[in-house]
A and B are shown apart, each in its own frame.
Chain A
Amino acid sequence: MWRLWRADAVRALEDPKVVSSLPRYVGILKGKFLPRFVISRHVPAEWGPESSEEELWIIHNAALMKMDALTRDLDSGIIHPDELGNPPEKSLLHLKARIGECIMRSCRLCERRCGTDRLKGELGFCRVGTEFRVHSCFDHLGEEPEVVPSFTVCGF
């Protein structure tokens, strides 16, 4: 149905201005590349239950370097996605999720850096707590042609 409303979106992935500025995104949609988060699940990361946030960041940054190399190899075709095998039990993505939890203890996600302890139930400027409150989810047709239809989740 969206093809009727947004004929420009149908052609967008062939538009030279889209392809030149968002080549990897277009490649993902054409099955040529993997989204980054999928690759991050294939980068192993090990940490212990006692690891401090500082230690987690060190492990994270080392894993990111490995991910950059893996992404390069996948994108250039040196490694085929089928060769990735099963993802490890603990990956860079799991580590990111773990650090995300830690940060909520003294929230520094936005540049206000208000330091709110969201895990204790405190609310900072944005008043987002520990639950994912969703206002709406819908197929957005009003974005840039290469973006639509876009599955939009409005959290608040």
Chain B
Amino acid sequence: MRILKSGRISLGCNFACIHCQNWEISQQFADGTVCGEREIAALVDEARRRGCRNQNWVGGDPIPHIPFWLRVLLWEKEKTPVFFNTNGFYSTEASSLLRGIVDIYKIDFKYGSDTCAEKISGVRGYWKVITRNLDRAKQHGELLIRVLLLPGHLECCLRPIVSFISDELGPETRVNLMDQYTPHWRADELPELRRRLKPDEWERAIRIALESGLKNIIT
């Protein structure tokens, strides 16, 4: 992890979430270990042989690492499904490269409005990009969506998120509703993000998700 002059953390991510939970990841690998693609391929193969079900590409976000992963795959010998664990803010070019490679697109659907996305994660034009990539992920592979519930963002974010999933991707879409938000990093800069989710908000969130018609929710 490197803390940049701007106060932004860099963990190889294209987002700059003010509640990033990875900012406190152990300093001991502060600069990371530079790995060769054959080395990673061998580790993935070993993992599959000992019973791991998939290779989980994480970052930061795995988007900037796609070129490395493509080379890793050239060396893998086992048949290990690819689990692409992303915030979903990738380009159409990246989407084409991922097509025919990724088995499960695990996409975090974080915001229901561009305003919230810009305020909390520092990205512009979020809704158009995330919905385009969710549509494509469904066409190109299988889809698992995670929704981390943010306190105070049930109406502006959760409601449009679950409506989109149910109406456009289908009520059978598998959605993991997550209540474990904890303020990290610079979360205290936004008043509503200074606390965890309240029990009544959690109940309301489940109600909103069910009202949208979703039938395959993990809670």
Which residues of A approach B to under 8 Å, CB–CB? 2, 17-18, 20-25, 28-29, 34-41, 57, 60-61, 64, 67, 92-94, 96-97, 99-101, 103-104, 107-113, 125-128, 131-137, 139-140, 143-144, 146-156
B212 within 8 A of A: no
Binding site for A on B (CB under 8 A): 1-2, 4, 10-14, 25, 29, 31-37, 40, 43-44, 47-48, 50-68, 70-74, 76, 79-83, 85, 89-91, 93-94, 96-97, 99-104, 106, 123, 125, 129, 141-144, 172-174, 176, 216, 218
Asked whether B52 lies within 8 Å of A156 as measured between CB atoms, the reply is: no
Judge whether A100 and B70 touch: CB under 8 Å: yes
For the residues of A in contact with B, the DSSP-based class is mixed
Complex contacts, B43 vs chain A, CB 8 Å: 137, 151, 153
Q: Are B31 and A133 interface neighbours, CB within 8 A? A: yes
11 A-B pairs whose Cβ atoms sit less than 8 Å apart in the complex: A22-B174, A36-B141, A93-B73, A108-B93, A111-B125, A111-B129, A133-B32, A147-B53, A151-B54, A153-B55, A155-B62
Could you tell me the distance in whole angstroms from the C-beta of A119 to the nearest C-beta in chain B? Answer: 10
Q: Given A17-B174, A36-B103, A109-B66, do A126 and B32 touch, yes or no (CB 8 Å)?
A: no
Whether A154 and B67, one on each chain, are in contact in the complex, defined by CB atoms closer than 8 angstroms, is no
- Counting chain B CB atoms within 10 Å of each CB, the highest count among A99, A101, A107, A128 belongs to A128
If A127-B2, A155-B60 are given as contacts, then 20 extra A-B residue pairs at C-beta distance below 8 Å, sorted by A number, are: A21-B144, A22-B142, A24-B141, A25-B103, A36-B101, A36-B103, A64-B96, A100-B70, A111-B129, A113-B91, A125-B14, A132-B35, A135-B29, A144-B144, A146-B53, A147-B106, A149-B51, A150-B53, A151-B43, A153-B55
